[in-house]
Copies of this chain bind each other. A is one copy, B any other.
Amino acid sequence: MTGSRTHIATSDATSITVRGKDLCEDLIGRHSFTDMIYFLSVGRMPTPPEARVLDACLVTLMEHGWTPTSIITRLAADSVPDDVQVAIAAGLLSVGPVFAGTMEGCAELLVEGVESGEDPDAYCKRVAEEYVSAKRPVPGFGHRLHKPDDPRAVTLLEVAGENGITGRYVDLLRRLSREVDAARGGRHLTINATGAIAALFLEIGIPLKAGRGLAVVSRAGGLLGHVVEEFAQPSARTIWQLTREGIPYSDPQETSHD
């Protein structure tokens, strides 16, 4: 007897129980995969609007074409073709601070603004000016490719609005957006997909720590598509060849100054 408990699942000869519900009676055939992801992360079933917004976020994060995660998965699927979990897991390892961290940074800004009790516009003005004057990227804003606006952020906030999912976090994100533009002398910087998702996860009650986890689950679905394509129409050997040819070897002494 250790005193430790789990509330996640148990089973006996005739039933499986998941967080207090009977898997076969209450869950299979009655709830979507998205409902269950929410249920296991948050501890209660989502309302239909919450589930629709979570679906929109998960759909958004699944796929971005060639990224480090998808390239890794393609290479690993070619090397370990019979254990597809290895290829998916290898890719997921890179859903890390560089690529998912801005979502967390934006969520922290929004939580701090709401919890501080400070006047929202004053908070946003102060934050925007701090980041812009320090030439630091504002988490949740800007995109290398998508200009003037990241179309995913626009659509996500529309979907949320249609489902009545608006509140203090979305409101604060919009105010922050205005202040960021103002601090940049009127040059517009888009809210990006991770910024919109940060606000929406907060609105639907996702714990901060679970946010990156949801990105991981979503990307797992996207990477499965890459595994399937790798088997039908391989890219891994081409990636290897492109790398060999594009990044040649040179003796270390030749560039001893680097």
Contacts and interface: CB of A to CB of B under 8 A. Distances in A.
Interface of A: 1-2, 4-20, 23-25, 27-29, 31-34, 36-37, 40-41, 43, 52, 54-56, 58-60, 62-72, 75-76, 78-86, 88-90, 92-100, 145-147, 149, 151-152, 154-156, 158-159, 162, 207, 209-210, 212-218, 220-222, 224-229, 231-236, 238-244, 246-253, 255, 258
A159 B24 CA distance: 10
A96 B79 contact: yes
Contacts of A235: 4, 6, 243, 247
Nearest to A241: B2
A79 B90 CA distance: 12
Nearest to A207: B228
What is the count of identical protomers in the complex?
Answer: 4
Contacts of A70: 8
Q: Which of A23, A28, A60 has the most CB of B within 10 A?
A: A28
A101 B30 CA distance: 27
A97 B82 contact: yes
A145 B9 CA distance: 14
B249 A7 contact: yes
Contact of A28 (B56, B79, B207): B56
Contacts of A162: 29
